[in-house]
Amino acid sequence: MKKNVCENYEEACQAAADIFAGQLKQKPDSVLGLATGSTPVGLYKEFVSRSGAGKMDFSQAHAFNLDEYYPIRADHPQSYKTFMDEHLFDHVKFTSTRIPCGEATDPHIECDGYDADLEAAGGLDLLLLGIGHNGHIGFNEPASSYPLGAYMVDLTEETLEANSRFFCDGEKQPVNALTMGIGQIFAAKHIVLLISGAGKAEIVKKLFEGKLHTDIPACFLLLHPNVTLVIDKDAAQGIKS
Ligand code: PGA
């Protein structure tokens, strides 16, 4: 894994944006995997500003989002569909965007459809990942086995707790999610793992301690031939650069 330790979050977002800009220059119709959460917010700001300035062109690119809560209405303020529209898709034009549908009647049929769409697009050229405090990637939570294709997952207490900050007091938080599977993540030609903040230092340290922890889904990335870790100093404090 290549490591790019940046001074701060802003620099990390610039560095990650540079990788996406290079990818689009080389292949304008790239299939890009995109993530949600607080980490990508600065990166998407950078996409919007570079695209507005004519420095990045997403108009031929295809976007596949990693995951979505289930069940959730697409127009719910906390749906990942709403997040993506607000932070990126309302500002930057893509040829196509695909997010697992949180209001599908049958989640399994929706996952099969998502798999078929990703396969028809030719798989991911470049995938953006964050990491959860428990080592999840997408919504692949720690487990004893991991589906290769998209599936419906039970969110762990830890993830529910971490994400409860986004839901109003007393609001029913979805306890399931639809997520891209580990096989699809692993098949991405290049992965950018963007990590920021002291709160992630512990999981980052564990990830790089030289063991393949099967209960840390992010450990699969240690075996992938083309992952670039873009991390700020606060998150990287426990590892050698
Ligand atoms: P965060 O989430 O960016 O909000 O920390 C990352 C993740 O859970 O994958």
In angstroms, rounded to a whole number, what is the distance separating the alpha carbons of residues 178 and 160?
14
Tell me the best of 13, 34, 36, 139 to mutate to test the pocket of ligand 1, counting ligand atoms within 8 Å of each CB and taking the most: 36
Going by CA atoms, what residue is nearest to atom 2 of ligand 1? 37
Q: How far is the CA of 130 from the centre of ligand 1 (A)?
A: 6
User: Residues 58-114: pLDDT tens digits?
Assistant: 999 999 999 999 999 999 999 999 999 999 999 999 999 999 999 999 999 999 999
Q: Identify the CATH assignment for 2-236 out of 3.40.50.1360, 3.40.50.720, 1.10.10.60, 1.10.760.10.
A: 3.40.50.1360
Flag whether pLDDT at 145 surpasses 90.
yes
**Pairing relation of β-strands 190-195 and 176-179?**
unpaired
Q: Could you tell me the pLDDT band of residue 122, with boundaries at 50, 70 and 90?
A: very high
CA distances in angstroms from 85 to 24, 39, 49, 91, listed in the order given? 20, 16, 15, 8
Q: What ligand 1 atom has the least distance to the C-alpha of 200?
A: 5
pLDDT of residue 71: 96
Flag whether pLDDT at 56 surpasses 90.
yes
In angstroms, rounded to a whole number, what is the distance separating the alpha carbons of residues 118 and 197?
32
Q: How far is the CA of 200 from the centre of ligand 1 (A)?
A: 9
pLDDT of residue 163: 87
Ligand 1 residue neighbourhood (C-beta within 6 Å): 37-39, 130-132
pLDDT of residue 168: 82
**Mean pLDDT along residues 8-31:** 98
Mean per-residue pLDDT of the chain:
96
Q: How far is the CA of 177 from the centre of ligand 1 (A)?
A: 14
Q: Identify the CA nearest to 1 among candidates 235, 186, 208, 233.
A: 208
User: Residues 151-206: pLDDT tens digits?
Assistant: 999 999 989 998 888 888 778 899 999 999 999 999 999 999 999 999 999 999 99
Q: Phi-psi category of 159—alpha, beta or left, where left has phi over 0 and alpha has psi -120 to 50?
A: alpha
User: With pLDDT > 70 as the criterion, what percentage of the chain qualifies?
Assistant: 100
Q: Could you tell me the pLDDT band of residue 55, with boundaries at 50, 70 and 90?
A: very high
Long-range Cβ pairs for the range 89-96 (8 Å, 24+): 89/63, 91/48, 91/51, 91/52, 92/47, 92/48, 92/51, 92/58, 93/58, 93/59, 94/58, 94/59, 94/61, 94/62, 94/63, 95/29, 95/59, 95/60, 95/61, 95/62, 96/62, 96/63, 96/121
Q: Could you tell me the pLDDT band of residue 240, with boundaries at 50, 70 and 90?
A: confident
Going by CA atoms, what residue is nearest to atom 7 of ligand 1? 132
Q: How is residue 21 written in tokens? A: 């800009």
Q: How far is the CA of 182 from the centre of ligand 1 (A)?
A: 17
pLDDT of residue 162: 87
Q: Identify the CA nearest to 4 among candidates 126, 12, 127, 35.
A: 12
Flag whether pLDDT at 227 surpasses 80.
yes
pLDDT of residue 70: 97
The residues annotated as belonging to the active site are 67, 134, 136, 141
Q: How is residue 189 written in tokens? A: 């030609």
